[in-house]
Amino acid sequence: MMHPFALAGLLMLPADTIPVPDAYRAALLNDTRSRSGAPGGSYWQQRVAYDIRTRLIPEENRVTGSEAIVYQNQSPDTLREIVLNLAQNVFAPGSPRNRTAPITGGFDVTRIVVQGRAVPLQRAAGSVGTVLSVPLTTPLLPRASAVVEIDWGFLVPEGTFRMGREASEVFYLAQWYPQVATYDDLRGWVRDPYLGDGEFYLDYGDFTVEVTVPGGWLVSASGVLENADEVLTADAVSRMRSLERGRVTHIVTRRDRDEGRATAPAGTDGTLTWRFAAHNVRDFAWGASSRYVWDGTVAEYPADDGTTARSAIYTFYRPDKPNWGRSAEFARHAIETHSSWYPYPYPQMTVNEGVIGGGMEYPMITIIGGGRTPLALYGVISHELAHMWWPMVAGSDERSHAWMDEGLASFAEDLATPLLFPEEDAGLSTMDRYLRVAGTDRETESMRPADLYGPFGNRGIASYQKPATVFRALRAILGPAVFDGALRAYLRRWAFKHPTPLDLFWTFEDVSGRDLDWYFQPWMYTTRVLDQGIGQVTQGDGAVTVVVEDRGEIPMPVIVEVRTDTGARSRAMADVREWRSGAMAIRLEVSGAVTEVVLDPERRFPDVNRADNRWSPDAR
Ligand SMILES: [Zn+2]
């Protein structure tokens, strides 16, 4: 039962508005962004195409590569330089970084040719760090293309953040090829260095990649394997082509390995070359191992046209790793569940085991390491696969706004987990992790570049648990139908584009029809905390009046439940607009004597002090 409630005062809400950066104001004037949160009519972004040949030499822990990049200038600007990301240089001596890293020397670049002209290599060699600007001798006009050719090699670091190797038997190659930096409508060239904490932000494009490895090594990658007949046995090819949703197929088994039939026979030089193609992706990663087995199944989910879409699910793991026999089932569940936000847009999804302690995602592929229980394995698979939506579909800048991908991936993971593990209230666990540091020195506001979150592991709370909690609470305020509609609209509007926080906030306002500055500003831009408490409770005339006090710093709606000795429960939800004075009197009609009053009984909101959220007459 909902009842009107009396107001205890007349002060206005704090006028917290979301700040609009200058570059965003310019984008509104240029019509590349819009006040509705949708892309503007003049939105543009750059396009890249990579053709890469690479070789893994496991006995040297070395990767070499040669690439040709076609860079299409779709901006209205004339470009006078091209900016390259040399991310592997985070492992070079002297490179700035915010994580400890093994020193491998980084990229050994042996050739750069831009627009047909060789770039002096001392330029590349002299660059300390991960960003290299190459002046263009011929300016790149709007709608023109430039070709960049680069040859390189590097030593693969022992298992580290996001990529590396485990001994010389499992390799995961990310940040492994020189890339063209993003050029966008807000910042032009994005020159943020790769320091270790911030992940990546790249333009969308197409990749063809040939990976040469020793015979017997399995290779998995972003994209589709185009020459299965050349690298796999006939048995494995037929198993790979007969995957079904209802079962897990062992495409390459332990027995195949034991019998030396994990792959087709190697060529005369002892190698095989695996060819992959990936379309409309923002990066490309791959993995290889001499010990992997390969499982497969199929994910099915509704497509936009009402038909059933299908994607292959592949998992690669060493067979002695506990619970990995369930990895394909878990990955299928995650892809199907997250597809309710937006149909999974790629033809396959691959999960690799090993190398790093946690997980790290790239388009169509993720690495997941560490010994894990089934719940922990599902949780990290579900999280990494949620990244296929944030940021692989909604292509936000992970270095500037890590919460846009980590927060939403954690939020989606938490919604998916109880569907497979019903006893696990993952959203509540996430909220409790935020609450343990809320308002302390170990908290940093979420709206801060990922590399600047500060010490104490603040990045974890600020970009994962807190924003996931903020979205979970907003879903309780707006209701699942409105919230889910807004999040789906955000993905629709920004699929394969570059959204920023304002595009997300304003889409939520546009779809819900509500001003949400009061919500996003304090939660995302500050470390203020929520603390509602029960003040006076008075009963009479078949009604009870509950005074709720705002003892924290963030205005939020109030959910109050009154329980009586008849067993009845009455509930009211007071809109945030009703807050005026720091206290709100909520009147509910009840029958019987009040035995208990509870604020937010299901714990939808992150209240830092729950002790004052419960009242009973005995405690008086
Ligand atoms: Zn993540």
* Digit-coded pLDDT (tens) for 293-320: 999 999 999 999 999 999 999 999 999 9
Q: In the structure encoding, which two tokens stand for residue 301, read together?
A: 């989910």
Q: What CATH number should be reported for the domain whose range is 532-619?
A: 2.60.40
For residue 243, what are the CA distances in angstroms to 205, 237, 289, 508? 28, 11, 22, 39
Instruction: Give 219 Cα–ligand 1 centroid separation in angstroms.
Output: 23
For the chain, the distance separating the N- and C-terminal CA atoms, rounded to the nearest angstrom, is 26
Q: Residue for token digits 């979970």?
A: 472
Instruction: Give 383 Cα–ligand 1 centroid separation in angstroms.
Output: 6
User: What is the structure's pLDDT at 10?
Assistant: 34
* 124 or 558, higher pLDDT: 558
Instruction: Give 240 Cα–ligand 1 centroid separation in angstroms.
Output: 29
Strand pairing report for 183-184 and 188-189: antiparallel
Res. 580 pLDDT band, cuts 50 70 90: low
For residue 81, what are the CA distances in angstroms to 73, 135, 140, 482? 12, 4, 8, 45
- Indicate the helix (H) or strand (E) that contains 155: strand 145-155
Instruction: Give 401 Cα–ligand 1 centroid separation in angstroms.
Output: 12
User: What is the structure's pLDDT at 5?
Assistant: 34
Instruction: Give 393 Cα–ligand 1 centroid separation in angstroms.
Output: 14
Could you tell me if residue 505 is left (phi over 0), alpha (psi between -120 and 50 degrees) or otherwise beta? Answer: alpha
For residue 577, what are the CA distances in angstroms to 7, 515, 516? 11, 11, 11
Paired residues of 494 in beta bridges: none
Instruction: Give 464 Cα–ligand 1 centroid separation in angstroms.
Output: 8
Instruction: Give 501 Cα–ligand 1 centroid separation in angstroms.
Output: 17
Q: How far apart are CA 331 and CA 335, in angstroms?
A: 6
User: What is the structure's pLDDT at 576?
Assistant: 83
| Greatest pairwise CA separation for the chain in angstroms | 93
Give the pLDDT mean for 359-387.
94
Instruction: Give 360 Cα–ligand 1 centroid separation in angstroms.
Output: 7
Instruction: Give 71 Cα–ligand 1 centroid separation in angstroms.
Output: 29
Instruction: Give 446 Cα–ligand 1 centroid separation in angstroms.
Output: 15
- Tell me the per-residue pLDDT of 183-238, one tens digit each, with 9 for 90 and over: 999 999 999 999 998 899 999 999 999 999 999 999 999 999 999 999 999 999 99
Instruction: Give 348 Cα–ligand 1 centroid separation in angstroms.
Output: 19
pLDDT greater than 80 at residue 462:
yes
Instruction: Give 406 Cα–ligand 1 centroid separation in angstroms.
Output: 5
User: What is the structure's pLDDT at 369?
Assistant: 92
Instruction: Give 362 Cα–ligand 1 centroid separation in angstroms.
Output: 10
pLDDT greater than 50 at residue 16:
yes
| CATH H-level, domain 412-525: superfamily | Neutral Protease Domain 2 (1.10.390.10)
User: What is the structure's pLDDT at 120?
Assistant: 86
User: What is the structure's pLDDT at 15?
Assistant: 55
Give the pLDDT mean for 268-281.
98
Instruction: Give 430 Cα–ligand 1 centroid separation in angstroms.
Output: 13
Please say whether the beta carbons of 530 and 607 come within 8 A: yes
Res. 11 pLDDT band, cuts 50 70 90: very low
The whole-chain average pLDDT of the chain stands at: 93
Instruction: Give 259 Cα–ligand 1 centroid separation in angstroms.
Output: 38
Please say whether the beta carbons of 198 and 450 come within 8 A: yes
Domains 47-184+203-367 and 532-619 share a fold: yes
Instruction: Give 358 Cα–ligand 1 centroid separation in angstroms.
Output: 9
pLDDT greater than 60 at residue 147:
yes
**CB burial class (10 A; 0-12, 13-18, 19+) of residue 251?**
buried
- Report the share of the chain in percent with pLDDT over 70: 96
Instruction: Give 389 Cα–ligand 1 centroid separation in angstroms.
Output: 11
Instruction: Give 283 Cα–ligand 1 centroid separation in angstroms.
Output: 16
User: What is the structure's pLDDT at 7?
Assistant: 34
Give the pLDDT mean for 73-101.
94
Q: How far apart are CA 459 and CA 465, in angstroms?
A: 10
Q: How far apart are CA 101 and CA 79, in angstroms?
A: 34
Paired residues of 219 in beta bridges: 288
Q: How far apart are CA 494 and CA 38, in angstroms?
A: 7
Instruction: Give 392 Cα–ligand 1 centroid separation in angstroms.
Output: 12
Q: How far apart are CA 573 and CA 4, in angstroms?
A: 10
- Report the share of the chain in percent with pLDDT over 90: 86
Give the pLDDT mean for 20-37.
97
User: What is the structure's pLDDT at 3?
Assistant: 30
Instruction: Give 466 Cα–ligand 1 centroid separation in angstroms.
Output: 13
Residue 105's contacts (CB-CB under 8 Å, 6 or more residues apart) are: 91, 92, 93, 154, 155
Instruction: Give 432 Cα–ligand 1 centroid separation in angstroms.
Output: 18
Instruction: Give 385 Cα–ligand 1 centroid separation in angstroms.
Output: 9
Q: How far apart are CA 432 and CA 468, in angstroms?
A: 11
Res. 1 pLDDT band, cuts 50 70 90: very low
Instruction: Give 472 Cα–ligand 1 centroid separation in angstroms.
Output: 17
Q: pTM for the full model? A: 0.94
Instruction: Give 387 Cα–ligand 1 centroid separation in angstroms.
Output: 7
Instruction: Give 568 Cα–ligand 1 centroid separation in angstroms.
Output: 43
Q: Poorest-confidence range of 24-28, 122-126, 306-310?
A: 122-126
Instruction: Give 347 Cα–ligand 1 centroid separation in angstroms.
Output: 22
Domain limits, the chain: 47-184+203-367, 412-525, 532-619
Instruction: Please state which architecture CATH assigns to domain 47-184+203-367.
Output: Sandwich (2.60)
- Indicate the helix (H) or strand (E) that contains 570: strand 569-574
For residue 564, what are the CA distances in angstroms to 1, 196, 336, 567? 14, 56, 43, 6
For residue 597, what are the CA distances in angstroms to 3, 252, 536, 582, 601? 16, 59, 11, 19, 9
Instruction: Give 386 Cα–ligand 1 centroid separation in angstroms.
Output: 8
Closest-CA residue to 358 (of 370, 371, 375, 374): 370
Instruction: Give 541 Cα–ligand 1 centroid separation in angstroms.
Output: 54
Give the pLDDT mean for 136-147.
96
- Planar angle of CA 90, 151, 87, nearest 5 degrees: 15
* 123 or 79, higher pLDDT: 79
User: What is the structure's pLDDT at 4?
Assistant: 31
Please say whether the beta carbons of 572 and 4 come within 8 A: no
- Tell me the per-residue pLDDT of 285-300, one tens digit each, with 9 for 90 and over: 999 999 999 999 999 9
Give the pLDDT mean for 362-374.
92
User: What is the structure's pLDDT at 457?
Assistant: 77
